[in-house]
Amino acid sequence: MKKHSWMLAGAAAAVLMAGAAQADTIYKYRGSDGEMVYSNTRPKGVEILGEMDSKALSSDQQTIYSSRAAMPQAQGTGARADAHLQRLAEADANVMRAQQNLRAAQAALQNGREPLPGERIGTANGYSRLNEAYEARVGGLERAVELAQQQLDQAYQVRARS
């Protein structure tokens, strides 16, 4: 791992450990030396470049950051490490969106299994059966679940590469 990545991990670990009981927000800003700083205390007089909810970090990220809490260079990060943290945050956000989309598609399928008016056709012996309109509608809902699952799998793969 490069020096900047270690510093980033140390910075995030220090923030996570210090802020676990106090604050849920991690603030990102540029320090007086030009380096990126991550802190659980909102700085005064500087532009906040980003905020991250510490609870939104994946358990993998929290484990990585916690294991490097003793790193002495916990203050600054380089542009490369900053980009890496940004990719991790985006990957986690994509995973969460994909999970929500999958849950929504599964709920739509579950709710859509009940036939709608006009989706049954009478049979010669006095019963009824589901018609093609029902099959097409439910088939579309099933395809939506499959697509949402594929998107979640892809989001997991991207996050694993981040």
Q: Are 52 and 25 in contact (CB under 8 A)?
A: yes
In this predicted structure, what is the pLDDT of residue 77?
53
Q: Give pLDDT tens digits along the chain (162 positions).
A: 444 444 444 445 444 444 444 446 777 778 777 777 777 778 788 888 877 776 666 565 555 444 433 444 444 456 777 778 888 888 888 999 999 999 999 999 999 999 999 999 999 999 999 999 999 999 999 999 999 999 999 999 988 887
Q: Are 21 and 2 in contact (CB under 8 A)?
A: no
Specify the pTM.
0.51
> Could you identify the residue written with the tokens 């970090």?
57
In this predicted structure, what is the pLDDT of residue 86?
83
State the CB neighbour count (10 A cutoff) for residue 103.
12
In this predicted structure, what is the pLDDT of residue 130?
95
In this predicted structure, what is the pLDDT of residue 15?
46
Q: At what angle do helices 132-161 and 79-112 cross, to 10 degrees?
A: 160
